């Protein structure tokens, strides 16, 4: 290949050539791309569109591979069809018993919730199992800077940014950006991931901090590291092997979602062995979560005129009686006062039986 | 092997460079596929930096080399979920720094080119450490990137013939 030697040699032996100028220009363009993007609002525009295209193409490829695997499985299972039918019949009979039990328990649970007058959804995400989308993770992004996954469900399927991603083993992450047919899930071990958690038995609260450089758990297809527990709040430390669940603080995640098991890392720091890493992370459930609405966001219709700010109100408070109140039964006469003895002559008169509320001085209650 | 030996130096060079480009492309795409932890980056190297340094050391003066690096960087940004432009800057910085390192090398051989590549990787790590935190929202773990850069530097002598082909002298 012929080389161009038309460059002009600059200081330090660096030749100013077309390639160098193009490289500098493209680097400036890349810098402009970085500067135009606001990292706090998630990805928009061309990135989401390319994500959609990638999710569709990779998803179609995976489906075709699954189809081939299913065909080969069917061909091999033809030899054991009779035994398989008997096994399925036995399992079916067992499942019928479990179904009856499940229906009875569901009915009992509904009655309990009715008796407790629980608000819809107050029991957490399990209370609304019909809400949410099941998606397949089509891209496992093992980049050195970010730990995200691409799921093949997006805005067309009702997914929104902020949805919680869980699988059968626990919390996986959170949707941080959404395209039309794809969504990007930020994993728990991403460096930017901060999740309020607590121990299920010790009730110790902490922040689960993503640590991509931590000891990886080589389990399943997705490599998930063990995040750290920081800012542990509580009288005691978490217990070894204790189940760590989300605490619900901050309003991004519902409380009680299983995250993993607490363990002490080699560096002595508390880490969490993620439950999501105990099995291949292939399908996730993307569920919405509406945090508890603060009272300021949904005020009552007519709460009355609020007191002016920085004002004080007089609140009459009835103090506790100094002595026991007189008996209300009229049939029982009060005992006669004791006769004064010679020693009591100089004593002050006895106090009244009780202090009436009208006589109590009002307390000053400040309002911030 | 005999056939390759019979090829003209120009054809050999083209074949080697095509293989090097394919390796770089595979190393960009493979971490995004559900192939398991061994296909993540790290341990997969940042093979595009091999191409960047190799093309720079070969004296590529046209617009195609930086443009291909720019596209590969954008592709890696897209696949890794990062902001568009981050890896593009990293790879183009590797190209420009590689030109400087190659220009400073008086007698190009394996050791001097390896040393130049290691110096280039160190500088690229510094640049990534400066750019990545603001681009990713204030926090970025540089450990995995440094590990991938180390793997890339250690494997450089093995792949050097694919990226630095000196015609008939090879």
C-alpha Rg value of chain B to the nearest Å? 16
Give tens-digit pLDDT for A283-327: 888 888 777 777 777 777 766 666 666 555 555 555 544 444 444
Residue A5 in contact with partner chain B when CB distance is under 8 A: yes
DSSP letter at B135 equals H
Per the CB < 8 Å rule, is B81 touching A137?
A: no
User: Mean pLDDT over residues B4-16, rounded?
Assistant: 70
Instruction: Assign A313 to helix, strand or coil.
Output: strand
Interface-testing mutation among A22, A49, A141, A145, with chain B (most B C-beta atoms within 10 A): A145
> Quick one: pLDDT band at residue A368, thresholds 50, 70, 90?
very low
Give tens-digit pLDDT for B12-33: 777 888 888 898 898 888 887 7
Token pair recorded at residue B155: 């494997």
Q: Which residues touch A365 (CB under 8 Å, ≥6 apart)? A: A312, A313, A314, A315
Helix (H) or strand (E) holding A260: strand A258-264
Give tens-digit pLDDT for B77-89: 888 777 788 888 8
Helices (H), chain B: 2-6, 9-29, 47-57, 64-80, 86-104, 110-135, 143-163
Q: Is the predicted pLDDT of residue A126 greater than 70, yes or no?
A: no
Q: Is the predicted pLDDT of residue A4 greater than 80, yes or no?
A: no
Q: Is the predicted pLDDT of residue B168 greater than 70, yes or no?
A: no
Q: Percent of chain B, pLDDT > 70? A: 86
Interface-testing mutation among B83, B151, B163, with chain A (most A C-beta atoms within 10 A): B83
Token pair recorded at residue A276: 């999501």
Percent helix, strand, coil in chain A, to 5, is: 30, 25, 45
Q: What is the pTM of this model?
A: 0.55
Q: Is the predicted pLDDT of residue B47 greater than 70, yes or no?
A: yes
> Quick one: pLDDT band at residue A334, thresholds 50, 70, 90?
very low
- Residue A217's pLDDT is 37
- Residue B138's pLDDT is 63
Distance, in Å, from the CA atom of B152 to the CA atom of B47, rounded to the nearest integer, reads 7
Instruction: Assign A216 to helix, strand or coil.
Output: strand
> Quick one: pLDDT band at residue A221, thresholds 50, 70, 90?
very low
- Residue A91's pLDDT is 94
Token look-up 């954008």 returns B74
Closest by alpha carbon to A49, among A178, A153, A138, A160?
A: A178
Q: What is the ipTM of this complex?
A: 0.70
At A262, phi and psi to the nearest 5? -75, 140
A222, A280 contact by CB (below 8 A): yes
Lowest mean pLDDT among A181-185, A234-238, B91-95: A234-238
Distance, in Å, from the CA atom of A48 to the CA atom of A55, rounded to the nearest integer, reads 10
Chain A residues with CB-CB distance to B40 below 8 A: 140, 142, 223
Token pair recorded at residue B130: 């400066």
Segment 101-140 of chain A within 8 Å of chain B by CB: 137-140
Q: Is the predicted pLDDT of residue A131 greater than 90, yes or no?
A: no
Per-position b or e across B122-154, b if 16+ CB within 10 A of its CB: ebbbebbeebbbebbeeebbbebbbebbebbbe
Q: Percent of chain B, pLDDT > 90? A: 2
- Residue A305's pLDDT is 67
A172, A136 contact by CB (below 8 A): no
B137, B25 contact by CB (below 8 A): no
Chain A residues with CB-CB distance to B107 below 8 A: none
Token look-up 């499940």 returns A102
DSSP letter at A197 equals E
- Residue A101's pLDDT is 93
Q: Is the predicted pLDDT of residue A36 greater than 80, yes or no?
A: no
- Residue A213's pLDDT is 57
Domain boundaries of chain B, sorted by first residue? 9-163
Helices (H), chain A: 18-36, 46-77, 81-116
Q: Is the predicted pLDDT of residue A24 greater than 80, yes or no?
A: yes
Helix (H) or strand (E) holding A195: strand A194-199
- Residue A89's pLDDT is 92
Token pair recorded at residue B143: 């450990």
Segment 131-150 of chain B within 8 Å of chain A by CB: 131-132, 135-141, 143-145, 147-148
- Residue B1's pLDDT is 43
- Residue A140's pLDDT is 66
Give tens-digit pLDDT for A258-274: 888 888 877 777 888 88
Give Cα B31 to chain centroid, integer Å. Answer: 16
Distance, in Å, from the CA atom of B38 to the CA atom of B31, rounded to the nearest integer, reads 9
Chain A residues with CB-CB distance to B60 below 8 A: 3, 19
- Alpha carbon of B158: minimum distance to chain A alpha carbons (Å): 23
Per the CB < 8 Å rule, is A223 touching B40?
A: yes
User: Mean pLDDT over residues A272-280, rounded?
Assistant: 77
- Residue A90's pLDDT is 93
Neighbours of A354 (CB within 10 A): 15
Q: What average pLDDT is seen over chain A?
A: 69
Q: Residue A142: which of B41, B74, B104 has the nearest Cβ?
A: B41
Q: Residue B63: which of A6, A18, A145 has the nearest Cβ?
A: A18
User: Mean pLDDT over residues A85-107, rounded?
Assistant: 92
User: Mean pLDDT over residues B40-61, rounded?
Assistant: 83
- Strands A216-217, A205-209: pairing is unpaired
- Residue A342's pLDDT is 44
Q: Which residues touch B148 (CB under 8 Å, ≥6 apart)? A: A144, B41, B42, B43, B44, B45, B46
Per the CB < 8 Å rule, is A221 touching B36?
A: yes
């Amino acid at each position: 290949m012929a080389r161009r030697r038309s460059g002009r040699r600059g200081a330090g032996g660096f030749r100013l050539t077309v390639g160098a100028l193009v490289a500098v220009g493209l680097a400036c363009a890349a810098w402009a791309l970085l500067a135009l993007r606001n990292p706090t609002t998630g990805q928009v525009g061309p990135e989401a569109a390319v994500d959609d295209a990638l999710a569709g193409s990779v998803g179609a490829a995976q489906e075709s591979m699954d189809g081939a695997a299913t065909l080969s499985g069917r061909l091999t299972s033809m030899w054991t069809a009779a035994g398989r039918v008997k096994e399925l019949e036995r399992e079916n009979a067992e499942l019928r018993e479990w179904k009856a039990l499940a229906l009875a328990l569901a009915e009992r649970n509904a009655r309990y919730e009715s008796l407790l007058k629980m608000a819809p959804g107050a029991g957490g995400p399990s209370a609304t199992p019909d809400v949410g989308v099941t998606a397949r993770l089509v891209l496992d992004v093992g980049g050195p800077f970010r730990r995200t996954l691409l799921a093949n469900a997006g805005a067309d399927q009702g997914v929104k940014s902020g949805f919680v991603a869980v699988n059968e083993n626990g919390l996986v992450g959170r949707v941080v950006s959404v395209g039309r047919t794809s969504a990007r899930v930020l994993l728990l071990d991403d460096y930017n991931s901060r999740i309020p958690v607590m121990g299920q038995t010790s009730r110790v609260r902490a922040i689960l901090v993503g640590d991509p450089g931590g000891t990886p758990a080589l389990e399943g297809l997705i490599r998930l590291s063990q995040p750290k527990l920081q800012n542990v709040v509580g009288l005691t430390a978490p217990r070894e092997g204790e189940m760590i669940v989300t605490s619900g603080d901050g309003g991004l995640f519902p409380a009680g979602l299983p995250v993993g098991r607490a363990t002490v890392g080699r560096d002595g720091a508390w880490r969490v062995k993620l439950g999501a890493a105990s099995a291949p992370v292939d399908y996730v459930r993307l569920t919405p979560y509406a945090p508890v609405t603060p009272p300021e966001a949904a005020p009552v219709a007519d709460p009355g005129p609020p007191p002016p700010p920085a004002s004080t109100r007089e609140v009459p408070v009835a103090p506790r009686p100094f002595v026991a109140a007189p008996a209300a039964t009229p049939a029982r006469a009060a005992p006669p006062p004791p006769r004064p003895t010679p020693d009591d002559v100089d004593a002050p008169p006895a106090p009244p039986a009780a202090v009436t509320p009208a006589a109590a001085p009002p307390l000053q209650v400040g309002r911030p | 092997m005999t056939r390759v030996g019979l090829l003209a130096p120009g054809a050999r060079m083209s074949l080697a460079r095509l293989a090097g480009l394919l390796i770089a492309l595979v190393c960009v795409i493979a971490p995004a596929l559900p192939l398991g932890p061994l296909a993540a980056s790290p341990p997969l190297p940042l093979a595009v930096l091999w191409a960047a340094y190799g093309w720079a050391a070969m004296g590529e003066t046209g617009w195609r080399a930086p443009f291909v690096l720019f596209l590969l960087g954008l592709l890696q940004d897209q696949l890794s979920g990062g902001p568009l432009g981050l890896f593009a800057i990293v790879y183009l910085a590797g190209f420009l720094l590689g030109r400087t390192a190659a220009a400073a090398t008086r007698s190009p051989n394996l050791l001097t080119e390896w040393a130049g590549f290691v110096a280039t990787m160190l500088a690229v790590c510094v640049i990534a450490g400066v750019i990545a935190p603001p681009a990713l929202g204030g926090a970025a773990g540089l450990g995995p990137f440094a590990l991938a850069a180390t793997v890339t530097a250690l494997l450089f002598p093995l792949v050097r013939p694919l990226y630095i082909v000196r015609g008939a002298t090879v």
